[in-house]
Amino acid sequence: MAMIRYVAVISSLIVALIICSCAAKQKDILQAQESQVKLRSIQSRVYDTNDRKFLLRTIIATLQDLGFVIDDAEETLGTVTATKLKRYVLRVTVSVRPRGDLQMIVRCNAQYNLQTVEDPEPYQQFFAALSKGLFLEAQQVE
């Protein structure tokens, strides 16, 4: 009898622990390690063009040059999603949106396996490659 009670207590504790850990994870759904402003600054650049279609097609070509395979492209929303498999999984979504009449903001966010990429270097490499394809200089978002 004592044994059954002991097992019941242990089981309840395990269930409680699982529930607590799930609750903790759910709180993290919108959390990032870097601040929202810093992350946007790392992931975004401004280009002096208003040709949305040309920009999207150059983003697709740049991602292909970087070894990505395009998963999805949507002109209305201005997004391109791609995956690179090289003993790891690197997924990126690149979005474009107008800034005034003459400029476009390009934002790239990447996920490496299960981690959000918050290191500036991979983004700098991406924008360097995109600038080459566009023949345009990338500017920091102010």
Partner 1 sequence: MSPKAAATGLMMASLIFSLVACVHKIPRDAMALSPDSLRDRQLQTRIFETNDEKMLLTASAAVLQDSGYTIEESEISCGVIVSSRDRDVTNPGQVAGSIVLGVCLGAPVPWDKRQRVEASLATKPIDDQRIAVRVTFQHVVWNNHNQVSKCEQLNDPQIYQEFFAKLSKSIFLTAHEI
Contact assessment for residue 97 and residue 104, using Cβ atoms and an 8 Å cutoff: yes
Check residue 136 for interaction with partner 1 (CB under 8 A).
no
Give the containing element (helix H, strand E) for 43: helix 36-43
Check residue 51 for interaction with partner 1 (CB under 8 A).
no
Rounded CA-CA distance 3/58 in Å is 68
Check residue 49 for interaction with partner 1 (CB under 8 A).
no
Query: Whose Cβ is closer to partner 1: residue 105's or residue 120's?
Result: 120
Check residue 15 for interaction with partner 1 (CB under 8 A).
no
Rounded CA-CA distance 138/82 in Å is 21
Site string for partner 1, 80-99 (x = CB under 8 A): x-xxxxxxxxx-x-------
Rounded CA-CA distance 105/25 in Å is 32
Which residue ranges make up the site for partner 1 (CB under 8 A)? 53, 56-57, 60-61, 64-75, 80, 82-90, 92, 110, 112-115, 117, 119, 121-123, 125-126, 128-129, 132
